Structure 1
């Protein structure tokens, strides 16, 4: 592990050089990084093979297109949070329940924004929290709208562990719920991440019609009556659609 960490550090030392220099030769990388030439050569070779660096015909290196892809992902996520926040505040004012925004981060959902309610009894969820994609409405709505092959692969490789008293731990049941969520355009969870709570989530799409995140309202089960759930579901779906439109989504993208 210690050796692996040293390798990562050396790689980052090299990559950081390109923050000030658009192109560098191997000799320049060795001089500026103060790494042994053999180590620098090995690191540069690995970074080039992985797409982090690219080499031109003159033998000079520059940052690879992979960084452009990462930059676009970061930009999209930041834009989503910025665009969604006023809509989330408006939704909270209408329903007086906590509103959450999640994005996918690998096999997890990451909570990137939350607008809280002034109810004395409320569900506590902090920004930065992570949850498995299979459980909780705001996580599972992302899973429901992932590409079919990717979604199936996730379900097959994932162990469905119980977190709340009603966490779905059956893969066949999960597949049914995911299918129904796509038909309905929303999903509801009861006591899946936190006991005695309810969450209702709808998908947010980007300009390409791909799932960009999940929007949910959540709170104690005692306040989520049948009539209120119908109202909240409609409000969440409408708000998620408005955010999607801001991201450039149209029905023709689907």
Structure 2
């Protein structure tokens, strides 16, 4: 029974990425097509899988309805909170979580260990768009219309010598963030602190917010903070998966034309 349930979960995730042929499903498990077909037919009967006009298997409409109901039953902060508590305990630094709200990014949770830096940010307060690591982590991965709306309210005021004071410089930083998958604040708002940040993804594959680790520069500069990247990215991946995100499938190498 446990194996059957496990296989059902696998095929639902497999088919949610794109419709699959029965051959692909049987190859996923390494079983004969008739074995794969029996489970697929059970899922079809339950409305969780459907067969399209090309004979491929994709997610069913009942699954979409169940997903919508599930999304209504949780609050994003409630899901994220225990993970950032654990992250803060592991790294011994301040951890913040911010999400978009209208034309701003808002801090909705913050964990400050006694020995860590005490930030002047507050839950419910706006992130400073052109300096905050969380805003860079989020804005680097959103549609241009969303980015345009939020950046329209940024004043690019200079706070320190490392502040990005022009939109051009900021957008160049976002290109870098999008390429490497994480962001940083190199003392751009306050000279005494720096941070690293990474996006959190939702069930649709869209950026849902950003999580940062902030430290006092004299104790942990960016070089030291980079050593915490695997822990930060591990946390954001766990949260994203809990929100229904699936990592993109690896692309297959192009066929050799020769």
SS of match in other structure, 1:131: coil
User: Following superposition of structure 1 onto structure 2, how do residues 96-107 of structure 1 map, counting pairs within 5 Å?
Assistant: 96-107=92-103
TM-fit CA distance, 1:211: 0.9
1:5-50 per-position Cα deviation (integer Å, ceiling 9, x unaligned): xxxxxxxxxxxxxxxxxxxxxxxxxxxxxxxxxxxxxxxxxxxxxx
- 2:208 counterpart of 1:212: yes
Structure 2 unaligned runs (5+)?
Answer: 1-67, 251-258
* Aligned mates of 1:107, 1:153 — CA distance in 2: 6
Matched, 1:223 2:219: yes
Cα distance, 1:228 vs structure 2:
2.1
Query: What's the C-alpha RMSD, in Å, of the aligned pairs?
Result: 2.6
The answer on 1:112 being equivalent to 2:108 is yes
Mapped partners of 1:85, 1:157: distance in 2: 28
Higher helix share: 1
Residue in 1 that maps onto 2:179: 183
Structure 2 equivalent of residue 147 of structure 1: 143
Aligned pairs for 1:1-254 within 5 A: 79-119=75-115, 121-152=117-148, 154-155=150-151, 158-225=154-221, 227-252=223-248
Q: TM-score, normalised by structure 1?
A: 0.64
Q: 1:79 to 1:156 in 2, by over 3 A?
A: closer
Structure 1 spans left out of the alignment, 5+ residues: 1-71
Assess if the C-alpha contact under 8 Å between 1:122 and 1:219 holds in 2.
Answer: no
Residue deviations 1:94-114 (CA, integer Å, cap 9, x gap): 100011000011222100001
